[in-house]
Structure 1
Amino acid sequence: MSDNGTPARLREAICAMRQSLYRTARAWCHDAALAEDLTQGAIVKALTRVHSLRDEEALRGWVFTILSNGYRDWLRGRRDHLDIDELPLPCRDCPETQAQTAETVLGVRQALNELRVQHRDAITLVDLDGLTSVEAGRALDIPIGTVMSRLSRGRVQLRSLLEAAPSAAAKRVQGSQRQASPERILGAGA
């Protein structure tokens, strides 16, 4: 046991979830600082209330439930909605592959943002954070059948949105083909 009565292995397990919790919070709120606050709040609350956990096997789902509840509390208190198009992209000097990855991530984020909130929440927990459907159901306080339904409908809609969006790579290729005319390459007098 540690000083505050929490078994050390549970404290370590909770702290080890930090990256997953942050990714989920970031996917939900689209704000790095808020995601960090939600993550830290969930970890602190989990560490201080771990004595109320009845089943250690349910630890991951329980901590994500705390995160989900914290996010819901934040949503209730806010009046304006974030628009992903208004968020600044990370500014980095990076190679072409990292730029393409950033474009892909942005496209997926935009598509996720177009989903209904309940579909986005289910997909984020299960597909991005690796929770089971049962754990996601506990975190969202909904039956497993509802989780499965939301996952199915959300994935179909997400796939449709991603397939409908023209790829950024295709746009770049088309743009460079228009710019690379023989006159332009050889000069106007050639």
Structure 2
Amino acid sequence: MTTTNSRVKRGLPPRASTTMDMGNDHALQILDFPSGMRAIVEGGRAVEQLPATPGEIAAPPEAGQQTAGEPVGYKEAAVRTTDEQIWFKNTFCPGAQACVQGFDWAICGTDHAVGYGTGITMVGAEGTSNATMFVDVWECICVGPFCIGGTECFWVENWHGIVVPGHWLSASTNAPDPKWLRWRLEGAGGDTQVSLAAKY
């Protein structure tokens, strides 16, 4: 894969077809993109909550509805611990094609075009800043009529969401035709541990 333009371009915003609040900072949202792609975005507290099962996802409320859970206050930021990183590695890395752990930021993507992929990120509870998770899609367009001028290829930011310290966020993407996908986590801070896993 070669790039003629390494800048990331912004795609058209998705429409949220379903939002589910499962309580205790655990929520799920189904997004529909103008391109025909669909994404399931889910987030929850690190160590305390696991992703929803396929049965729970298959039974969301009708499009546009939102269910409410009990409001819960945020916990105080904890001192830096590797327990969260170990939990992430044991929970999300088995079966993943990529699993990256480090500080402040992480990036990984597919090694071929896929019809489905999931990126899962986590920011350590010791963090003091929200990080941002990005989902990028590799797009190529014709430069001239009938592609006489060749094609221009670039990353398109398909979606982004906030990852609060001490929480994980998952974004699953379905593409009607196979696409290269990339997941990025940025802005957690140099003293904050982060994790990112990709399954496709």
Q: For this structure pair, what is the TM-score category when the shorter chain's length is used for normalisation?
A: under 0.3
Which structure is higher in strand share?
Answer: 2
Higher relative helix content: 1
TM normalised by structure 1 equals: 0.27
Structure showing greater radius of gyration is: 1
Higher RCO (CA < 8 A, seq sep 6+)? 2
TM-score computed with the length of structure 2 as normaliser: 0.27
